[in-house]
Structures are given as structure tokens and as C-alpha cells.
Amino acid sequence: MPLFIITGCYSATSAKGMIDNPSNREKAARGIMEAAGGKMHSFYVTTGETDWMVIAEFDDGADLIPALLVVGASGAVSNVKTVRAYSGAEFKAAQEKAGKIASSYKSPAK
């Protein structure tokens, strides 16, 4: 199944809520990922441009969208971004396929 890396930021209201009433955000993230039909591999609180990162597996990227809609609509997070992650084996297969189809492409620069 495809892997997705999802990152985002907590809102100021969420930060205040976590200070006033600490909660297990990993458990909350796992719950929404599973409700949408995915499997969460890991959850991290991060530093830098984002506050958290989830690595999750979904049959299709379209299956992830409902979970992101729910989380985004809650107002608890912002700046949610998703990227598809490929394993080394998947990338090797892509390279092999590229080698087979390369002669089909005619560059405009040549």
C-alpha cells in the first residue's frame, strides 16, 4: 500500500488546549487515520516549519482526503501538507520503466 507523509501545525487554540488539558495526540491521529481506512505507522511532534508528522499507509490517496478534511475543518491544525513516499524498490522499478520508455520522448531542446 502507498505510504504518505502528512505534516501540519497546531493552531494557537490547540496549543492552549494541550497546555490546559494534555492529551495523547498520537492516539487522536491514529484514530482518524484508521477511521478513514488507513494504517498509521508513526506519529512525531516536530520542530521547524511544522509541529507534527504522520506516516500513514492508505490504499489510495483519495482515501486519505476525508481524514484531512475532518482534521482541517476542526480548526485544530493548519498548513497540512501531504507527500507520497516511495520505497527504494519502488523507485528502482520506476528507473527501470524509465529506461524502457525513454526512446518514446522527443525533447524540444534537441
- Name all domains of the chain by residue range, CATH numbers in brackets: 3-102 (3.30.70.1060)
Mean pLDDT by runs of 10 across the 110 residues of the chain is 96 96 96 97 97 96 95 95 96 96 89
Query: Residue type for 12, please?
Result: A
Distance (Å, whole) CA 2 – CA 62: 11
What pLDDT is attached to residue 109? 85
Cβ-contact 57, 4 below 8 angstroms: yes
Which long-range contacts link 40-48 to residues 24+ away (Cβ below 8 Å)? 41/3, 46/7
